[in-house]
Amino acid sequence: MADGSDFGRSMSIASSGLRAQAGRMRVISENIANADSTAKTAGGDPYRRKVPTFSSELDRTLDAQVVTLGKIKPDTSDFRVKHEPGNPAADASGNVKYPNVNSLVEMTDMREAQRSYEANLNIISATRRMIQRTLDILKA
């Protein structure tokens, strides 16, 4: 039978997953919000897509591996370029650089992050139910 430390450990590990996925969703939201922005100056670079990374670290108090949101790295792929001579952000050739953000990719990543978030939330809910059942048994 599991003891209280197992319940706490499960909840802490799942909580680390929640925090990591919430951070991932913030980065994705920023990418989506800036998908159609242009540079502030003519011929300048627009918003550059950001890519969240994850890292695993040992939580010594839990004696378990937990996930954390790692560094947010810039996506080095090329910007989208459109010929729009009348645009204030256009360079001397009339080309405008747009962010290297693909909204379809971002929405797919967001859905995946949402599912991972929900899975961790389900673990926390199940653990809470087990703790409640254990308390009910001890009361009886």
Q: Tell me which residue has tokens 């954390």.
A: 68
Residues of the chain with pLDDT under 50: 1
Residue 5 confidence (pLDDT): 72
Residue 116 confidence (pLDDT): 96
Residue 25 confidence (pLDDT): 98
Residue 91 confidence (pLDDT): 95
Q: What is the mean pLDDT of the chain?
A: 93
Q: What global pTM score does this model have? A: 0.85
Q: What is the helix, strand, coil percentage profile of the chain, to 5?
A: 50, 20, 30
Residue 3 confidence (pLDDT): 58
For 32-57, how does the pLDDT look when each residue is reduced to its tens digit (9 = 90+)? 999 999 999 998 999 999 999 999 98
Segments of 9-88 assigned E as strands = 50-59, 64-74, 80-83
Strands 64-74 and 80-83, sheet pairing: unpaired
> Which residues fall within 8 angstroms of residue 107, CB to CB, at 6 or more apart?
32
**What gap in Å lies between CA 25 and CA 116, rounded to an integer?**
11
Of 118, 120, 140, 105, give the one whose Cα is nearest residue 27: 105
Phi, psi dihedral angles at 67 (to 5 degrees)? -100, 145
Residue 6 confidence (pLDDT): 83
